[in-house]
C-alpha cells in the first residue's frame, strides 16, 4: 500500500513539473499582443454530464479547437468535431467504433446542442446511424438528452457523489434504468 502511495505522489510531482514546463512555453507563444482581445470561448467548451432518457449517463468533452470526445458508461469512446452555430448553440458529429461478439461496425451521431443562459445546463437533439463493417445500415433513429456542466468539486467533497450525476442500474435490461436523477 505504501508503494502505491509513493508511486502516486511521485507521478503527481512529475506531471506538475511537466505541466509547468509546457505552460511556460505555451504562455510565451500564446500571449496576445497589446490591444488585441482574444475571442470569447464558446459556452460548450468543457465537460458535460449527459443524462440519457434511458438512464445511462455519459461524459462528453469539447475543446476550444473543435474536438469532441465522448465516454459512455460501457467504456465506448466517441471522437468527433464540433462547431458553433450561435452564441449558445453548437453542432457536432462523432463516431463510435464497436467490435464484439457478433457485431462490428460504427455508430455515427449528429447532434445540435442548446445551452441555457446560465451556461451550465442545456439540451441536445441527436440522430444516429449504426453502420455495419460491410457498410450496410443496421439501424437509425433520433432522440433528446439533457446536459449539465461538470463542475470542479471541492477537496472536502470526498465521499459524496457529484451533484447532478445520474445514477443507473447497469444490470437492468437495455443497459440501465434511472434509480434517481439528482437535480443539478
pLDDT tens digit string along 40-72?
799 999 999 999 887 789 999 999 999 999 999
Residue with cell 509547468: 20
* 46-150+162-168 fold: Lipocalin (2.40.128)
Rounded to 5 degrees, φ, ψ at 41 are -80, 135
Residue 61 CB neighbours (<10 A): 15
Burial of 158 (0-12, 13-18, 19+ CB in 10 A): exposed
- Backbone dihedral region of 21: left (phi > 0), alpha (psi from -120 to 50 degrees) or beta? alpha
Which of 6-20, 62-76, 98-112, 143-157 is the least confident region?
6-20
Q: Are 146 and 166 in contact (CB under 8 A)?
A: no
Report domain extents, the chain.
Answer: 46-150+162-168
**pLDDT (tens digit, 9 = 90+) per residue, 95-126?**
999 998 888 999 999 999 999 999 999 999 99
Amino acid at each position: 500500500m505504501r508503494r502505491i502511495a509513493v508511486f502516486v505522489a511521485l507521478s503527481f510531482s512529475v506531471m506538475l513539473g511537466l505541466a509547468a514546463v509546457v505552460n511556460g512555453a505555451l504562455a510565451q507563444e500564446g500571449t496576445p499582443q497589446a490591444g488585441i482581445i482574444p475571442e470569447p470561448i464558446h459556452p460548450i467548451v468543457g465537460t458535460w454530464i449527459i443524462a440519457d432518457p434511458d438512464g445511462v449517463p455519459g461524459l462528453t468533452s469539447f475543446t476550444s479547437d473543435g474536438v469532441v470526445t465522448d465516454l459512455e458508461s460501457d467504456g465506448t469512446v466517441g471522437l468527433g468535431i464540433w462547431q458553433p452555430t450561435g452564441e449558445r448553440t453548437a453542432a457536432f458529429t462523432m463516431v463510435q467504433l464497436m467490435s464484439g461478439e457478433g457485431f462490428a461496425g460504427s455508430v455515427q451521431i449528429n447532434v445540435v446542442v442548446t445551452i441555457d443562459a446560465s451556461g451550465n445546463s442545456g439540451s441536445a437533439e441527436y440522430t444516429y446511424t449504426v453502420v455495419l463493417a460491410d457498410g450496410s445500415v443496421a439501424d437509425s433513429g433520433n432522440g433528446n438528452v439533457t446536459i449539465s456542466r461538470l463542475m470542479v468539486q471541492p477537496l472536502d467533497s470526498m465521499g459524496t457523489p457529484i451533484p447532478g450525476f445520474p445514477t443507473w442500474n447497469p444490470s437492468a435490461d437495455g443497459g440501465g434504468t434511472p434509480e434517481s436523477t439528482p437535480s443539478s
